[in-house]
Structure 1
Amino acid sequence: MKNKNIYRNYVNLKSGQVHIRISGKEKNDRRPLVCFHLSPVSGIIFEKLMMEMGQDRLIIAPDTPGFGMSDYISSEPTIRDYAKVMKDLINKLKIQNLDIMGYHTGSKICVELANLIQERINHLILISAPIYKKNELEEQHKNMGNYTAPKGDGSHLIKAWNGLWKWRGPNQMPTDIMKIFPDQIKGGHKSHWGHKAAFSYTYPERIKNIKIPILVINTKDDLFNYTKRIKKYLINGKIFEKKDWGHGFLDHNTKEIAKYTRNFLDKNEWPREAP
């Protein structure tokens, strides 16, 4: 296998099968990086970053249970449930020490996983980490925390597409949206479970327990303003604002995000722009 290639596999766990993407060599002097995606898509969002980072380390992107090609958890999950599955996955893969990265819902999975196995994790990178006021959280639940039933005229598909298009990043084109759209709608009547779990999980009570370095990358997306509020809850962390990035930056700014990631994970260097 060439380092730049990505291969896929299924891992059998008690909760069901988890689909993973893998790049890089298993035997490496750098720690593995495990990446958790936003809802309701899949690890496909990390593929270009994986091809870059896989040149010098093992990088793994699982599909969260119920999304992509991973099995559902038997009952409606919490973020802690997702984190427990990821802990089981890491154990099954025999990974002892690692770094983790999360995107939106995946960031919350990162934080909860760090609460479970903090002694094995060296760094966290969170792409957005929103703090909501009560009324804002209620609005999020209303807009994204419920199931949208299919319509005979396909209007539910237009609604899903328009949601992605509305918050597209500065370089995202229709072809970029189409890349993730199949996973956006694959979850069916349980596709809202990821958002519902995310909106039921709040950072302040859990992130304050984490003493290892946390880099929060705040891009100009739908969580930009909410993520600014996380700063006071970080024990050992900084916020790195990138107003020229948005959704799709992992595809369109791959070299740049890889540079920041390597410096943080391998050299303990914060981005210079991070206050």
Structure 2
Amino acid sequence: MTDLVRLDINLQTPQGCGVRSSGGPLLSRRYVGGAGQQVHLIEGGTERDGAPLYCLHATAYSGQSLAPLVRALAPSRRVAAMDTPGYGASDAPAQRLDLPGYVDAVEAAFNAAREGCIDIFGYHTGALIAAELARRHPGRVRRLVLIGVPFFSGDEQAAWRHRLAQPATLTADLDQFRERWDFFVRDRPPGVDLGKGFENFVDELRAWPNGWWAHDAAFRFDVQECFAAIRQPVLIINPHNHLAAASRQAAAALRRARIVEMPHLANGIFDVAAGEVADLIDGFLNEE
């Protein structure tokens, strides 16, 4: 098997040679890595003078959740949303990883894709993976964009781990999915239609019953030590949801951070405001 395989397929229907929303640019998929370590990417845009932007999703979603953002950014740069190992269409790790283990796997995917200098976007658990990558590689990661940073410690971090990192067991009972169905479909945010809510529900269930693994890793990670060592410019985009206060604390812990408050947004931000978020990211990444 080669290290690099490209598949152009439709992200929303089983036929076609790409994905295009109404008026949006064509996106493609590919896999990087070797047997048993295949990592799935959703990509858009073409090579330009600037660094490509890699996007890391929240748990237990996949890069599919970031497809609207990839589509919005594609006219101005090469951009890719990566499925963290164990999520979406990426191979699952053989055992539960700590956060540095996820960083190792993502870094291996960058190497398999033969990437040099990159920019990174991270959301929730993806924000911590992105931050640790930036800390490890100040010469390779040029700029960092974060949303929904779970910047917790001590008892608060332990409480979030207890809430979100509970082991699950697959059973024959349909009711085990009731809470997630209500969250994604019945109680979906305004502006998210029924079809998109169902798509998000299915996307998360692909990681079941091990979707909690990355939450467990994130809420055991020393975020203070990591953020104190980051030297790259960082943009934190801050919708006013349950992580707004934590994201402000993250900005205060960074040496070169800028925070943009978005009080009119809360949840479902990539489904309802991808263009607005993309404009902020483009402006930040294009600065001298």
TM-score strictly above 0.5: yes
Q: Distance in 1 between matches of 2:107 and 2:162?
A: 31
TM-score norm. by structure 1 comes to 0.89
* Equivalent pair of 1:171/1:252 in contact (CA under 8 Å): yes
- 1:254 is matched with 274
Q: Which of residues 121, 145, 151 in structure 2 aligns to 1:131?
A: 151
Which has the higher mean CA deviation after the structures are superposed, 224-233 or 176-185? 224-233
- 2:55 is matched with 35
Q: Which of residues 21, 25, 43 in structure 2 aligns to 1:22?
A: 43
- 1:88 is matched with 108
Q: Distance in 1 between matches of 2:146 and 2:275?
A: 18
Shift of the alpha carbon at 1:173? 3.7
Q: Distance in 1 between matches of 2:246 and 2:37?
A: 34
Partner SS for 2:138: helix
Q: Distance in 2 between matches of 1:170 and 1:202?
A: 35
Shift of the alpha carbon at 1:142? 1.7
Shift of the alpha carbon at 1:166? 8.9
Q: Distance in 2 between matches of 1:89 and 1:167?
A: 36
Q: Structure 1 residues 61, 28: closer, same or farther in 2, change over 3 A? A: same
- 2:6 is matched with none
Q: Distance in 2 between matches of 1:167 and 1:117?
A: 40
Q: Which of residues 135, 156, 166 in structure 1 aligns to 2:176?
A: 156
Q: Distance in 2 between matches of 1:70 and 1:243?
A: 34
Q: Structure 1 residues 203, 167: closer, same or farther in 2, change over 3 A? A: farther
Which has the higher mean CA deviation after the structures are superposed, 228-237 or 12-21? 12-21
- 1:4 is matched with 25
Deviations 1:175-198 (A, max 9, x none): 332121112111123111011111
Q: Structure 1 residues 173, 134: closer, same or farther in 2, change over 3 A? A: farther
- 1:183 is matched with 203
Q: Distance in 2 between matches of 1:145 and 1:79?
A: 13
Deviations 1:70-110 (A, max 9, x none): 11112211111111111111122122111100000000010
Please list every run of 5 or more consecutive structure 2 residues that lacks an aligned counterpart in the other structure.
1-17
The aligned runs of 1:52-201 (5 Å cut-off) are 52-164=72-184, 168-201=188-221
Shift of the alpha carbon at 1:134? 2.7
Shift of the alpha carbon at 1:153? 3.5
Shift of the alpha carbon at 1:174? 3.4
Please list every run of 5 or more consecutive structure 1 residues that lacks an aligned counterpart in the other structure.
269-275
Q: Distance in 1 between matches of 2:109 and 2:186?
A: 34
- 1:47 is matched with 67
Q: Distance in 1 between matches of 2:29 and 2:159?
A: 37
Amino acid at match of 1:64: T
Q: Structure 1 residues 174, 138: closer, same or farther in 2, change over 3 A? A: farther
TM-score norm. by structure 2 comes to 0.85
Q: Distance in 2 between matches of 1:78 and 1:72?
A: 14
Amino acid at match of 1:53: L
* Equivalent pair of 1:169/1:249 in contact (CA under 8 Å): no
- 2:8 is matched with none
Q: Distance in 1 between matches of 2:134 and 2:187?
A: 29
Aligned alpha-carbon RMSD (Å) = 2.2
Amino acid at match of 1:240: V
Shift of the alpha carbon at 1:222? 2.8
Q: State, as a whole percentage, how many aligned pairs show the same letter.
A: 26
Q: Structure 1 residues 113, 234: closer, same or farther in 2, change over 3 A? A: same
* Equivalent pair of 1:19/1:63 in contact (CA under 8 Å): yes
Which has the higher mean CA deviation after the structures are superposed, 210-219 or 147-156? 147-156
Higher helix share: 1
Shift of the alpha carbon at 1:133? 4.6
Amino acid at match of 2:45: G
Deviations 1:206-228 (A, max 9, x none): 01111110111121223223222
Shift of the alpha carbon at 1:15? 6.0
2:243 is the alignment partner of 1:223: yes
Shift of the alpha carbon at 1:201? 1.2
